[in-house]
């Protein structure tokens, strides 16, 4: 089966950064289980909350010094990981786990860091430990699924993605659908990949990684007009334009036999990203790369 094209790596990274945002690392950290606030507790006439319920409802005012230290270390680790500083990220995760060895977000993130460092046995052990402690943690299920996909263990990956999607009130469904769609594309199941990526797009149409990968799959399936629509949404937004997005649009238009459009997009690629490998491929006419 063909490997994921190297041109997907920068936008696939967006997916990875979303994946390592376990339990809100990149979008507001949850210090404990995210339990909905009971009706009426927003007023002074709130019903009495039992001690058991209070343990499940951790807010900023309840955060202990130990919890704060673990949260900050884990957030720092996620930030370093997002910048590709894997060793530094691992050090921060280790510091978090020294304080709380059972902190599931840190264990999950450690697994993704190890995977990025090609320490696959350590990566899987860390992810499995996180799931042992919290089997229904959707973010860790997502991360484990993505790890298994990278290892080309597609059936196992599917089961992890499905388990994540089945978690009640899971807010990362669009992200997990994106990962699952990419995994199906990597497995060569393009029709299934397109269906799943379309579901992700319907839930989160503003995600550039979804639009890019949906366009890529549509191109590979010969749905060229629809593919061009999705990638042009990115190219018409200045802050989202990348060599990869222009190159995908060029390749689509080349297949559609639209030389004027190919030349126009190629000019943009040369002007904006003259030293990119995509610009070199365009100048050499290597449109199948």
At residue 41, the pLDDT reads 28
Report the alpha-carbon distance of residue 272 to residue 260 in Å, rounded: 18
Encoding tokens for residue 71?
Answer: 């949260």
At residue 65, the pLDDT reads 84
CATH architecture of 65-134: Alpha Horseshoe (1.25)
DSSP letters for 82-131: HTT-HHHHHHHHHHHHHH-TT-HHHHHHHHHHHHHTT-HHHHHHHHHHHH
At residue 164, the pLDDT reads 98
At residue 118, the pLDDT reads 97
Encoding tokens for residue 39?
Answer: 């009706």
Report the alpha-carbon distance of residue 82 to residue 16 in Å, rounded: 8
pTM, two decimals, is: 0.78
Report the alpha-carbon distance of residue 250 to residue 93 in Å, rounded: 42
- Per-residue DSSP letter, 167: S
Encoding tokens for residue 76?
Answer: 């720092």
Smallest CA-to-CA distance from 91 within 118, 63, 117 is with 117
Q: Determine contact, residues 244/10, Cβ cutoff 8 Å.
A: yes
Place of tokens 């659908």: 177
User: How far separated are the first and last CA of the chain, in Å rounded?
Assistant: 16
- Per-residue DSSP letter, 24: G
At residue 1, the pLDDT reads 39
Beta bridge partners of 34: 57
User: For the chain, which residues make up each domain, given as ranges?
Assistant: 65-134
At residue 40, the pLDDT reads 29
At residue 100, the pLDDT reads 94
- Per-residue DSSP letter, 195: H
Q: Residues, the chain, total?
A: 289
Encoding tokens for residue 229?
Answer: 């629509």
Please list the ranges in the chain whose pLDDT falls under 50: 1-55
At residue 16, the pLDDT reads 43
């Amino acid at each position: 089966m063909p490997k994921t094209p190297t041109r997907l790596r920068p936008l696939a990274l967006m997916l990875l950064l979303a994946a390592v945002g376990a339990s809100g690392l990149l979008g507001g950290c949850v210090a404990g289980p995210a339990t909905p606030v009971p009706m009426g507790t927003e007023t002074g006439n709130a019903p009495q909350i039992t001690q058991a319920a209070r343990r499940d409802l951790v807010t900023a005012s309840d955060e202990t010094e130990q919890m704060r230290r673990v949260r900050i270390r884990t957030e720092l680790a996620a930030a370093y990981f997002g910048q590709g500083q894997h060793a530094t990220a691992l050090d921060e995760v280790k510091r978090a786990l020294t304080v709380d060895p059972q902190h599931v977000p840190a264990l999950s993130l450690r697994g993704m860091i190890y995977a990025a460092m090609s320490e696959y046995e350590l990566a899987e052990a860390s992810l499995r430990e996180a799931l042992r402690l919290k089997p229904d943690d959707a973010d860790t299920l997502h991360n484990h699924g993505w790890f298994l996909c990278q290892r080309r263990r597609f059936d196992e990956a599917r089961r992890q993605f499905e388990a994540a999607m089945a978690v009640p009130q899971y807010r990362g469904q669009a992200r997990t659908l994106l990962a699952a769609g990419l995994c199906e594309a990597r497995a060569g199941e393009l029709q299934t990949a397109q269906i799943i990526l379309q579901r992700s797009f319907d839930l989160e149409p503003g995600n550039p990684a979804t639009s890019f990968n949906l366009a890529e799959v549509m191109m590979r399936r010969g749905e060229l007009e629809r593919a061009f629509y999705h990638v042009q949404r990115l190219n018409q937004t200045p802050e989202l334009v990348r060599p990869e997005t222009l190159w995908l649009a060029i390749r689509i238009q080349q297949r559609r036999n639209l030389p004027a459009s190919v030349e126009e997009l190629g000019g943009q690629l040369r002007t904006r990203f003259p030293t990119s490998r995509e610009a070199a491929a365009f100048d050499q006419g290597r449109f199948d790369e």
